[in-house]
Amino acid sequence: MEITLQYFDDCPNWKIADERLMLLAAERPEIVVKRQTVDTVEEAEQVGFHGSPSILIDGVDVFADASTPVGLACRRYMTDKGPAGAPTLEQVRAALPVR
């Protein structure tokens, strides 16, 4: 399974998401984590980037919905503790396919 972390450097929340993805990859050796920087608005539109950090599992942005705009912005996630800059470890784990 491939997980792609899309981000841009000016949004610090990608580092939190990256740490959580590394924990998951340590738990499940079939997970390969890749990182993709998105540097321009044009690139964001081309790849369908819904803000930093975006997490794609096998190419699908598992947290995007119709109201999530495409563009260079820090993304917000609703967690059980309120809005956050990255999904919780539990949210990402729940989005993974069952093995």
The pLDDT value recorded for residue 66 is 77
CA dist., res. 27 & res. 44, Å (int): 31
pLDDT at 67: 83
Neighbour tally for 80: CB within 10 Å: 8
Dump pLDDT digits (tens) for 48-90.
999 999 999 999 999 988 788 899 999 999 999 999 999 999 9
Q: Parallel, antiparallel, or unpaired: how do β-strands 32-37 and 2-7 relate?
A: parallel
Structural domains counted in the chain: 1
Identify the CATH number of the domain in which residue 86 sits: 3.40.30
Radius of gyration (Cα) for the chain, nearest Å?
A: 13
- The pLDDT mean for the chain works out to 94
Domain of 23 in residue numbering reads as 2-95
Strand partners for 75: none
pLDDT in tens, 23-44: 999 999 999 999 999 999 999 9
What is the Cα–Cα distance from 33 to 57, expressed in whole angstroms? 9
pTM here is: 0.93
pLDDT, position 72: 93
